A and B are shown apart, each in its own frame.
Chain A
Amino acid sequence: AQKITQTQPGMFVQEKEAVTLDCTYDTSDPSYGLFWYKQPSSGEMIFLIYQGSYDQQNATEGRYSLNFQKARKSANLVISASQLGDSAMYFCAMRGDQGGKLIFGQGTELSVKP
């Protein structure tokens, strides 16, 4: 069975500092994709970054980067230079080769302090 684990229910970070949100996963699928989403209080899920299981390089999108360690089955999100607008829930998700279904972790609530 596929599973995503996010062990940090809540985190605080000072504005302009970097923060790492942890995500570990479990799957027996030979290929899979890992995703991070941001969910502000409005409820919309905003796609941030994607990492494929066969990608050699860690994914980066602006201030977001994904620290992918396949052997450890971890896909941590790194946000550089945090901004007040980064305060939100962050979800790690995985899609295996069984179709379009996404499996989500429980989320991490990030609060950025001025």
Chain B
Amino acid sequence: KAGVTQTPRYLIKTRGQQVTLSCSPISGHRSVSWYQQTPGQGLQFLFEYFSETQRNKGNFPGRFSGRQFSNSRSEMNVSTLELGDSALYLCASSSGQGVNHEAFFGQGTRLTVV
């Protein structure tokens, strides 16, 4: 069974540009969550999608957005990039939203904004 696939693995962008990251969850999983990891702030929740609907959103500016498609694949978009957006972006997939549903992560996309 294939794991969670995130593409691309690495990205270098310039301030002011926008970027789109992709996440393909484990087959059959309908919940996809996104997290930002930085040395200073640690792991922070961005948003969660379940069956194409955003169910939860973290405390991030509107420049961060996402969506989920009917096949459960998800994308997140960051517009007007800032230097502080440089981070490892992790996607997690779960079969459900309950407390006992394990979240499996992809390898992440490492974004560098210059």
8 Å CB interface, A71-109 against B: 91, 95-107
A-B pair number, CB within 8 angstroms: 74
B side interface size, CB within 8 A: 29
- What's the Cα separation between A100 and B57 when bound, in Å? 11
Cβ of B66 < 8 Å from any Cβ of A?
no
Beta-carbon nearest neighbor of B99 in chain A: A33
Report the minimal beta-carbon distance from A40 to chain B, rounded to whole angstroms: 10
Q: Which residues of B contact A28 (CB under 8 A)?
A: none
Report the minimal beta-carbon distance from B106 to chain A, rounded to whole angstroms: 7
- What's the Cα separation between A42 and B105 when bound, in Å? 13
- What's the Cα separation between A95 and B94 when bound, in Å? 12
- What's the Cα separation between A101 and B92 when bound, in Å? 10
- What's the Cα separation between A97 and B104 when bound, in Å? 18
A side interface size, CB within 8 A: 29
In-complex Cβ contact of B104 among A47, A96, A105 (8 A): A47
In-complex Cβ contact of A45 among B97, B99, B100, B105 (8 A): B105
Cβ of A31 < 8 Å from any Cβ of B?
yes
Please name 8 pairs of A and B residues whose Cβ atoms are closer than 8 Å in the assembled complex, sorted by A.
A29-B99, A42-B107, A44-B107, A45-B92, A46-B105, A95-B101, A100-B33, A105-B42
Question: What residues of chain A have their CB less than 8 Å away from a CB belonging to chain B?
Answer: 29, 31-33, 35, 37, 42-47, 50, 52-53, 91, 95-107
- Nearest 7 A-B pairs (CB), nearest first? A45-B105, A33-B99, A104-B43, A100-B97, A44-B107, A43-B108, A99-B56
